[in-house]
Chain A
Amino acid sequence: MSTFGYRLRFGLQLALTLATCAFLIAPVIMSIMAGVTGNYFTGIARSGMTLQWLEQVWHLYSQTVYLSLQIALACLAVTLVLGVPAAYVLARSRSRLTRLVEELLVLPIAVPGLATGLALILTYGDVRAFRTSWLFILVGHVLYTLPFMLRSVLAVMSSIDLRTLEEGAASLGASFRQRFFGVIVPNVRSGILAGALMVVTLSIGEFNITWMLYTPLTKTLPVGLAETYASMRLEVGSAYTIVFFIMIIPLLVAMQMMSRERRRIVRVVEDGNGNPASR
């Protein structure tokens, strides 16, 4: 192809890509702008910029931010304790039963969050202390996020020769505890970290299950968001969105960086032990 034809094609592709990005990013920018505009209907030019909406949001809803963080961290702790050992069992035993379990674990992702929430209420709604506690929401979040932790760890475990690695450690006298924490966990660290970021991100943003489970005293950030959108000034809702972005964007960036890191580690491990090396 001629240089001109090549340039033209490149130019068109670039234009299309930028146009698509603009289309997707514009609402985000509009939303952020609305959150710092004095009066959205008279426009930013006339009403000027202000932080008063952010202050108001923080005053009304800082509890939801703290609760969301609390639930996200608790959810992370539970998914780590349940997910990493479960992934280990699934990776080590390749029977039909474990395959079935692995498939079943996807169910909470496939089933609508509202249905999961309703099922929890039907089953445990009568246990009053539990129903009104933040732990009730935590259970919903764990149900939803556990598969992500498990699959992320399992993916790394399946990419390395876990059994031989463990036999190597055992032959040197390491007990199961020493093998698990000294050899297995460090070598699947990338999967655990990626899973952890995923769990925290999903938990902070989770709405469907939480909307069924929350009480006026256990409102999370996304529930608060929905409430402001429905019943408050547009500027307040938008300011609240900014708060949400501030929490979630660093996590998303970290997740991207992790996945790059993980690809590198998996490559090293595969090249390092799995394949016959005859350099």
Chain B
Amino acid sequence: MAIRLRDSAVSIRLEACGKTFADGTRALEPLTLDITAGETVVFLGPSGCGKTTTLRLIAGLEKPDAGGRVRFGDDDVTALPIEKRNVGMVFQSYALFPNMSVAQNVAYGLRVRRVASVERAAQVTEMLDLMHLQEFANRSVDQLSGGQRQRVALARALIVKPRVLLLDEPLTALDAKLRETLRVEIDRLLRELEITTIYVTHDQAEAMSLGDRIVVMEKGRVAQVGTPQEIYYRPASRFVAEFIGTMNRLRGVVRGGLMEIVGGHLPCDAADGETAELGFRPEDARIADASDGALAGRVAAAFFLGDRTRVIVEGVAEELIVVESSQRRQFVKGETVHIAVRPDTLLRLN
């Protein structure tokens, strides 16, 4: 494939980039972050956490508060508006131009750069091929499905060989199945192109599968930066633990290295008499026999998922516990079950 973006990809450095809006709202606490050239970094968090503001700072659609700097490689781009930063951006609402055909939309970035029309046509054809959009070249945008529109938006952003690709919740407007398909497609594309990518989403599955690194954000602050595995297995805070995947929480008083809860006890290295909180993921526990199950509780509900059954257990701790079982058996509401947790997977949450 002729389209290579590795050479144009740059590293990004945010230095103390905060953002306070005109009405005094603090959208982002000063943030310092290094992004390697060619890396895909996903900003993940609930709405209002500052992830989109960070993306817009990198894009040049917002300016950081005084003292903040944005660098692309060796260039300080803080003062440059978006049109001078050579970025590619994909919006949740596509932002395609309704007055132009698919091909004209894709060609737009080249046209404003005054690329000669022959050269432009060749590049557009190549890009449409890459995105499997050849047959739609002359269609108007409103004749496309949501997935096709987002592919056009990607093609339009990539054709200018941007230094950075910025994706703002690109899949949120699509239905679940299409989202899955397009996610795989985007993943393949990003690996192939080796372009520096910033991806903003509130969907943890998207973040896990696309990100080389994930930046989890909470209320304008970075909660944790790490690979998907680090974020999932070693969450830095209770917020991260709960935002990503399902986390069971148990709270109790520690005596002699064991934390005592309603349904039994779990190993915990907190000091005697201290109140501790432990967490574990559903897949790290199993329904066991009474002899080796450390925790006992009652089935509150069970959902058969095909390959496994998701069992909700009450009476183990203050909150309900979720456990997954691959046993081929029925779980009856009210039935007593025993749960064995792998001790090495227990997380200290406080």
Contacts and interface: CB of A to CB of B under 8 A. Distances in A.
Contacts of B145: 277, 279
Interface string B65-102: 00000000000000001111011110101111111000
A189 B98 CA distance: 12
Given A277-B145, A277-B149, A170 B95 contact: no
Nearest to B86: A173
B184 interface: no
22 contacts: A161-B95, A167-B82, A167-B91, A167-B95, A171-B59, A171-B89, A171-B157, A172-B109, A173-B112, A174-B108, A178-B112, A182-B108, A182-B112, A186-B99, A187-B98, A189-B99, A269-B98, A272-B96, A273-B98, A273-B141, A278-B174, A279-B145
Nearest to B59: A171
A76 B193 CA distance: 51
A273 B175 contact: no
A277 B146 contact: yes
Leading 5 A-B pairs by shortest Cβ distance: A168-B95, A276-B173, A172-B109, A171-B89, A277-B146
B93 A173 contact: no
Given A186-B99, A268-B142, A272-B142, A172 B94 contact: no
Given A272-B142, A276-B173, A277-B173, A171 B94 contact: no
A171 B82 contact: yes
Given A173-B160, A178-B112, A187 B99 contact: yes
Interface string A139-170: 00000000000000000000011001101111
Interface of A: 160-161, 164-165, 167-175, 178, 182-183, 186-187, 189, 268-269, 271-274, 276-279
Contacts of A189: 99
A168 B146 contact: no
Contact of B83 (A173, A186, A187, A278): A173
Nearest to A268: B142
A178 B160 CA distance: 16
Contacts of A171: 59, 82-83, 87-89, 157, 166
Given A173-B86, A187-B99, A161 B93 contact: yes
B61 interface: yes
A157 to B, nearest CB: 13
* Of listed B59, B82, B156, B174, residue having the most chain A CB within 10 A: B82
Contacts of A170: 61, 81-83
Interface in B125-184: 141-142, 145-146, 149, 156-157, 160, 166, 172-175, 178
B329 interface: no
Given A172-B160, A274-B93, 12 more contacts: A170-B83, A171-B166, A173-B84, A173-B160, A174-B108, A175-B112, A182-B108, A187-B99, A269-B142, A273-B95, A276-B146, A278-B175
Contacts of A164: 91, 93, 95
Contacts of B61: 167, 170
Given A167-B61, A172-B160, A187-B99, A273 B94 contact: yes
A273 B93 contact: yes
Nearest to A168: B95
A187 to B, nearest CB: 5
A271 B173 CA distance: 13
A97 B87 CA distance: 34
B108 A272 contact: no
Interface string B258-271: 00000000000000
A174 B86 CA distance: 10
A178 to B, nearest CB: 5
Contacts of B160: 172-173
B113 interface: yes
A187 B149 CA distance: 18
A164 B149 CA distance: 15
Contacts of B141: 272-273
B190 to A, nearest CB: 18
A161 B166 CA distance: 19
A244 B174 CA distance: 55
A239 B77 CA distance: 69
Nearest to A165: B95
A38 B9 CA distance: 84
A279 B146 contact: yes
A264 to B, nearest CB: 11
A268 B98 contact: yes
Contacts of B142: 268-269, 271-272
B83 A175 contact: yes
B22 to A, nearest CB: 10
A160 B96 CA distance: 12
B89 A168 contact: yes
B95 A173 contact: no
Given A272-B141, A277-B173, A279-B145, A173 B113 contact: yes
Nearest to B150: A277
A178 B82 CA distance: 14
A175 to B, nearest CB: 6
Contacts of A161: 93, 95
Given A161-B93, A167-B61, A172 B112 contact: yes
B108 to A, nearest CB: 5
A170 B61 CA distance: 9
A279 B173 CA distance: 10
* Of listed B84, B112, B149, B172, residue having the most chain A CB within 10 A: B112
A179 B174 CA distance: 28
